[in-house]
Amino acid sequence: MTELLKWVDRRFQFGHTVDYIPFFMERLRATAPRLEEATVRVPEDIMEVHENGKWSVKEHIGHLSDIELLHDKRLEDLRAGRALTPADPENKITVAAHHNQYPINDLVYHFRQMRDNFLKQVEHFSPADMERKAMHPRLGQVLSLADMLYFIAEHDNHHLTAIATYLRKHYP
């Protein structure tokens, strides 16, 4: 199998319209159950291993929670007509959080709470807000709300794939 493509090297097709929002919302709702299913029977110590300098399973999940704060800010940016808040390319919050010290159930639960809050915010967007667009700083592209949800779903899937790849190798 090939090495997973780095997140920053991924390319995306944007231009999604409002009618795609329900489909992307459903993908976003599915992340927490997928995390739970992937980790429910795996011993904690296996999910704390750093392989080849990469994040552990727990750190991947913690990162998904950490970045929900960025998603919340970006919703505010979109509504306010501002450029989207840039991500921290060094992921300082995730590094400082020491996610390996927490039980996996707590990490998944925390992510689920953060994601549910995000989805509730999107559900309260007015039709006019759903049509707004904003510049993504790293990508240099204008994103609609649907594009932003697609981008988040792809980010989730990137980490889900990294977790699944690691677990298939170390906990078949």
Name the H helices within 47-103: 57-80, 92-97
Q: Which domains does the chain possess?
A: 30-170 (1.20.120.450)
What is the rounded distance in angstroms from the CA atom of residue 108 to the CA atom of residue 53?
A: 23
pLDDT of residue 2: 74
Give me the pLDDT at residue 6, please. 85
Model pTM above 0.75? yes
pLDDT at site 1: 62
Contact 129, 145 (CB under 8 A): yes
Q: Are 170 and 43 in contact (CB under 8 A)?
A: no
Give the pLDDT means over successive 10-residue stretches in the chain (172 positions): 81 96 99 98 96 94 98 97 96 96 98 98 97 96 98 97 94 79
Q: How far is the C-alpha of 172 from the C-alpha of 163, rounded, in Å?
A: 13
Alpha-carbon torsion, ordered 39, 44, 47, 53, to 10 deg: 170
Which residue stretches of 3-56 are H helix?
A: 21-29, 31-39
